[in-house]
Structure formats: structure tokens, C-alpha cells
């Protein structure tokens, strides 16, 4: 049975590693898509503070829009939040164009359990 895909957007607010124009374009396109998504100010800060909401955000069937996949996986791990291994995709705003990121999100709106 299909389950809704979860989308998590990180604004990378406390580090100037993602171009502002990229973050704004991705966020705008996500909002215009009409898909539900979670937006957080900064996964790095959440991990450093071991924010318990990371446990809720982690799981199966999630697309995370942030930065390098290895860094995102490490952030969840450092906070003690197990990031799922099934249907997890991490999209990199540091290297990919906003249009490509949103296209990947819109490509699969549901995952099969």
C-alpha cells in the first residue's frame, strides 16, 4: 500500500554554505507545489542540541533537502536519530540546481511499503 512521501527541507540558516538564491528558489517551488513538507531552520543546530524532533523527522520514505548526504546522515546519527535506509533520498542544495532538486521531489510523491 502506498504511503505518503515525507519531505524535509533544511534552510541551513547558520552556515553560509548553500547559496541564498538556491535555498529561496527551492523553498518557493516546494511551497508552490502544494505538497506538504517540514521546514527546519538548521539540521546542524538541531543535531548539536540533540533535538528530539529529529527522531520524528527520520524514518523511511523521506526526501531530505539539505547539503551533502554523508553530512546529513552523520547529523542524524550524532543526534541519536536513526535515519531510515528504505526510500531515503538526500538532495544536495550545495551542488544541485533548484529545478533539479524539486524535479526529484515531484518525481515520486508516494513510496510503496
Please give the C-alpha separations between residue 102 and each of 26, 44, 45, 74, 94, in angstroms, as whole numbers.
Answer: 7, 22, 24, 23, 14
Per-residue model confidence as pLDDT tens digits over 10-35: 999 998 889 999 999 999 999 999 99
- Report all structural domains of the chain as residue ranges with CATH numbers, in order of start: 2-108 (3.40.50)
pLDDT at 44: 95
**% of the chain with per-residue pLDDT over 90:** 72
Distance CA 34, CA 30 (A): 7
Amino acid at each position: 500500500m502506498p504511503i505518503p512521501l515525507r519531505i524535509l527541507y533544511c534552510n541551513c540558516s547558520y552556515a553560509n554554505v548553500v547559496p541564498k538564491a538556491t535555498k529561496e528558489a527551492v523553498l518557493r517551488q516546494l511551497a508552490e507545489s502544494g505538497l506538504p513538507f517540514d521546514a527546519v531552520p538548521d539540521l546542524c543546530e538541531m543535531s548539536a542540541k540533540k533535538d528530539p524532533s529529529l527522531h520524528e523527522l527520520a524514518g523511511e520514505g523521506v526526501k531530505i533537502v539539505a547539503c551533502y548526504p554523508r553530512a546529513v546522515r552523520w547529523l542524524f546519527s550524532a543526534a541519536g536519530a536513526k535515519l531510515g535506509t528504505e526510500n531515503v533520498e538526500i538532495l544536495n542544495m550545495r551542488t544541485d540546481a533548484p529545478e533539479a532538486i524539486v524535479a526529484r521531489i515531484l518525481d515520486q510523491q508516494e513510496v510503496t511499503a
